[in-house]
Structure 1
Amino acid sequence: MRGSTRSVRAPRRLALLAVSALFLTLAGCSSSDVDQTTPGTRYEFNGATSAGEVIEATRRAVAPSFSGELLDGTPFDSADLDGDIAVLNFWGSWCAPCRVETPDFQAVYAEVRDQGVQFLGVDVKDDRQMASAFMTNVGAEYPSMFDPRGEVAMAFRGFPANVVPSTIVLDTEGRVAGVYTGAVARDDLQSVLSSLMQETGG
């Protein structure tokens, strides 16, 4: 009797092992893996990009649409960025690192503004007048959205809206080519834009 019991249990164990292996294989194909590797999918934050580097073109996801007002009250729609490389910089007048980073962004903006590259600041958790004064004082000439509730950051699913400054760079097809949390060095920003401009033959 003991021998027959063992012979019945063995196939059951093999069947359980086979089912477990199948489950593990399917579990490895998570939605985040698909978002990272399938062109045309909507962007979802899966981690920051290394400084000065860009996401491979085949792994870029489409950025969400967003709209709102600039600091001066002018309406803005993300469709205005279509066809250009775009640098979205999340900042606040209360943010100490932003005081160092913003002049560097302005310097790079002045270099590439006529080469198919747009800059857009996104002012978060701030007072409109203080934000406008900040941009004037640091000499920033590129436009900036007023986004006190962080709605633009939330549109980029999972993006850490509480990390300021942060920067998202889009390629000419409106895909996320880089996500950088914390201040971005001038040389690193230039390197990122140079890589994207080379993709378009610029």
Structure 2
Amino acid sequence: MRFRAALLAAAILAAALTACGGASDDCQPTSSKVIECAPEKRPAAPPLSGELLEGGRYELSQDRGQVVVVNFWGSWCAPCRAEIDDLEQVYQATKDQGVRFLGINVRDDRDKAKAFHSGKVSYPSVLDPSSKLALDFEIPPNSIPATIVLDREGRIAVVIRTSITAAEFEPVVARLAAEAS
């Protein structure tokens, strides 16, 4: 009897997680880890804000009119460590095209996050130890590392639920930067 109850509970939990973590009906997976939304069907990003690692606050609204790359990372995450140089490379290559990057550090304390982030990237990161900011997205990242690219209107254009390389990612960001707003 306990086994059946455990199986039923697991099935209900799996169904709930799948429902919460899937793409919206207007966005389609292009691979098992990438979701893209057609321009006319992109959902709005939540009103993202938080405390920056180095002090001060970040408000997504301050970057309206820019393409915003939001990368969820943790200092404890090996794939995050592997992709950080690639993210900085894409940031440097695209920032003059109206692209902003924002890191969101999850499940870390400030000192560990700052030690990892400092000197590796030139873009800011928000401290989010509870991972609440990820849950606010209509298409949540569901993994660490994960990257969400917002178009110039503040809508979710691409969600990548895996680590990325500069060669894979720069064309995606450049394409979105070239879109008319």
Asked if the contact 1:119–1:142 (Cα under 8 Å) also holds between the matched residues in 2, the reply is yes
Q: Of residues 188, 192, 197 in structure 1, which corresponds to 2:168?
A: 188
TM-score computed with the length of structure 1 as normaliser: 0.71
1:147 & 1:94 partners in 2: Cα distance?
14
Would you say the 8 A contact 2:42–2:157 is kept in 1?
A: yes
Residue matched to 2:70:
88
Deviations 1:51-95 (A, max 9, x none): 788422122111111211010121111111211000000000000
User: In structure 1, what residue type is equivalent to 2:125?
Assistant: S
2:100 to 118, 132, 148: 118
Match of 1:8 in 2: none
Identity %: 41
> Does the 8 A contact of 2:50 with 2:127 survive in 1?
yes
Q: TM-score, normalised by structure 2?
A: 0.79
Extract structure 1 runs of 4+ deviating beyond 6 A.
none
Name the CA shift for 1:110/1:147 in 2 (closer, same or farther; >3 Å).
Answer: same
Change (3 A) 1:95 1:173: same
How has the CA–CA distance of structure 1 residues 171 and 116 changed in structure 2, closer, same or farther, with 3 Å as cutoff? same
Q: Measured at CA, do residues 49 and 89 of structure 1 come closer, stay the same or move farther in structure 2, by a change above 3 Å?
A: farther
CA distance in 2, matches of 1:128, 1:79: 24
Are 2:34 and 2:160, in contact at CA under 8 Å, matched by a contact in 1?
Answer: no
Change (3 A) 1:96 1:47: farther
Gaps of 5+ in 2: 1-23
Give the CA RMSD over aligned residues: 2.1
Secondary structure, in 3 states, of the residue corresponding to 1:36?
Answer: coil
Is 1:164 aligned to residue 144 of structure 2? yes
Runs of 5+ consecutive residues of structure 1 not aligned to the other structure: 1-34, 38-45
Between the aligned partners of 2:163 and 2:62, the Cα distance in structure 1 is 25
Of Structure 1 and Structure 2, the greater strand share is in 2
Shift of 1:157: 3.5
**Which is higher, the Rg of structure 1 or of structure 2?**
1
